[in-house]
Amino acid sequence: MHRGEDLGRWVRSVRLGWDKLTGVQQWMCEQVLGIEPAAENEKPQPRRTQADKWAMNYAAARQYYEREGHLRVPRKHIERIVVGDGKGGSGKDQEERQLRLGAWIGNQRSRAATLSPERVEQLSSIGMRWT
């Protein structure tokens, strides 16, 4: 802390926002202050949109349906799915996610009146019980 400023937080924001700096600012940070841009593994993951989250949960529901033959998912059930495109060849761009599928199914059922017709159709096609 210096004069009420959290310098560690400032350095982190500069490193993560490197591309937003001008060329002169980047040069000064590197040459004068010794600050370098953040490496790819230091950057936070982009936030998922609601549509992305819905698609991931739907994929988990479809996986459960294909394995079990129904969508009578216990409320506390956790479904594990692998997400990522896998195009890197090494499998490092894929990750296993644990989704609270039982809670999600219950929430979709209770929100049936407000779901889009497309989503209702998608869930119905894999055996969703609406009552």
pLDDT tens digits, residue range 19-54? 999 999 999 999 999 999 988 888 887 788 999 999
> Residue 17: left (phi > 0), alpha (psi -120 to 50), or beta?
alpha
> Residue 46: left (phi > 0), alpha (psi -120 to 50), or beta?
beta
Q: How far apart are CA 105 and CA 31, in angstroms?
A: 55
- All residues at 6 or more sequence positions from 97 whose CB lies less than 8 Å from its CB, including other chains: 56, 80, 81, 82, 83
pLDDT digits (tens, 9 = 90+) for 68-94: 999 999 999 999 999 876 555 555 667
Q: Does the pLDDT of residue 127 top 70, yes or no?
A: yes
